[in-house]
Amino acid sequence: MNILHISAECYPVAKVGGLADVVGALPKYQNNTEDSSAVIMPFYNNKFTQTHSFSSIYNASINLGQTIYDYDVLTLNNNTLGFELFFVDIKELLFTDYVYSSDDTDRFLAFQVAVMDWVLTLKSKPNILHCHDHHTGLIPFMAQESFKYKTLNAIPVITTIHNAQYQGWFKFDKLNLIPEFNGNNIGLLDWGNTINPLAAAIKCAWRVTTVSPTYMEELQSRANGLESLLASESSKCIGILNGIDTEVWNTETDEFLIKNYNKKALASGRKANKEWLCDEFNLDFNKPLIAFIGRLVGEKGADLLPEAFNLALQKNDLSILVLGSGFQETEKELNKLKDKFIGHYNAYIGYNEKLSHIVYAGADFLLMPSRVEPCGLNQMYSLRYGTIPIVRRIGGLKDTVSDIGDEGFGICHNNVTVEEIVYSISRAITLFDDKKEFEKIRQKIMSIDHSWNASALEYKKLYHSINQ
């Protein structure tokens, strides 16, 4: 079976969040079976594209309303990613130094139309079109409704929702950008009197998946306006937990780490990484180091962090390190704490892949007080690296972390409040002081298997169920 993943992000080419990690890993695992899996994504102007070479395999133009854009489909030369990678190169629209911005409607519409036009020309068509998030949400609609793609409508289309908060809404005045279709079916695009690509995908895709079973349940009552749609389409919806790429996230080979380690040498390996972090960020090595990595947005509970950290740090019995960027107000508040708790608190405001790996390897605990967490990859990376997660029980966090009080291996709380975050942090300090128990849990979490093997099998079953 040939699977084509269509996505705005793919690690290591372009990463904003977990979407990239999933699209950069799942195809690799699918290629370990008898299936063949490839990815197509936009060709951005970034470090990866500047430092690799590509070949054009197809050249044509698309019409976006009245405007014609030339484009190439490129492949990556000397590809060692473990899956074939194609790019849509539309110089005038997609070759930007950002992945997302305010002009996304035109950029991603052009991307989707170019992908569909190209698929139309392929002699050997994919057996599955696997779309990811709203940036590819119009493909299920176009495959089903656009006259131009009529010959493609027997190919099963799957949509995976990585985050239902973002839906790609745009106004009906851009309707003419979508290839012509039967106007009687315009309602398929509509949700709340706007064109809603994610809603259209939920209506038109053959199956809808999301990235954890609990998030799928939650979506039926909380999906940023799409809950009733998801509830009514629940018979074709399924939650499949994300895995992690255990080749990239491997403590023995991770080139970003200060010192590599395995379970046997856990203590010395993690010590070296923690020492580096504490030197670099002027933190007290002897205290438990609690880290936060992620987008500084409401979804991640980041707005509560300044107050929670302010309270938790009063006794100076811990160290805290933040790595993230997002809302300016939260960034400012988090920066302010630096002067107040010198030697116990620091923040790196920005995106830094290398630093994130060292934090997973060197922090003692990773805090995830999320309001919404479709799956969450950070907790799985932290488990694999021996860092104990502190999480709110929500979405994928609920599916992957159980509390030490229930013979589990993490610290969990239920509500998005400063008090519960501070209480969880105090439990972490108590656990850190119980050296025997702390070591036992670190050993235990490094053995948990969160690789893609099991989840890739679930996707395989799903593909086969609709592609007889």
Rounded distance, CA 176 to CA 235, Å?
A: 32
Among 58, 276, 351, 423, binds ligand ADP (CB under 6 A): 351
* 248 or 429: CB nearest ligand ADP: 248
Tell me: does residue 294 bind ligand ADP (CB under 6 A): yes
Question: Coil, strand or helix: which one is 393?
Answer: coil
Among 168, 362, 376, 410, binds ligand ADP (CB under 6 A): 376
* 31 or 379: CB nearest ligand ADP: 379
Backbone angles phi, psi at 2, to 5 degrees: -100, 125
What residues have CB less than 8 Å from 468, skipping those under 6 apart?
none
Tell me: does residue 363 bind ligand ADP (CB under 6 A): no
Among the residue ranges 202-210, 222-230, 292-300, 410-418, the one whose residues contact ligand ADP (CB under 6 A) = 292-300
Two tokens at 127? 């057996």
Chain centroid to Cα 457, Å, comes to 20
Sign of CA dihedral 395, 401, 403, 406: positive
Two tokens at 112? 């989707």
Tell me: does residue 295 bind ligand ADP (CB under 6 A): yes
Minimum CB separation from ligand ADP for residue 296, in Å? Answer: 8
Tell me: does residue 100 bind ligand ADP (CB under 6 A): no
Number of residues that bind ligand ADP (CB under 6 A): 17
Tell me: does residue 306 bind ligand ADP (CB under 6 A): no
Minimum CB separation from ligand ADP for residue 117, in Å? Answer: 29
Rounded distance, CA 134 to CA 103, Å?
A: 14
Contact 41, 13 (CB under 8 A): yes
Complete DSSP assignment for 260-319: ---STTHHHHHHHHHHHHHHHTT--TTSPEEEEEEEESGGGTGGGHHHHHHHHGGG--SE
Among 4, 5, 8, 21, binds ligand ADP (CB under 6 A): 21
Minimum CB separation from ligand ADP for residue 298, in Å? Answer: 12
Minimum CB separation from ligand ADP for residue 94, in Å? Answer: 21
Minimum CB separation from ligand ADP for residue 377, in Å? Answer: 4
Residues that bind ligand ADP (CB under 6 A): 17-18, 21, 293-295, 323-325, 351-353, 356, 375-378
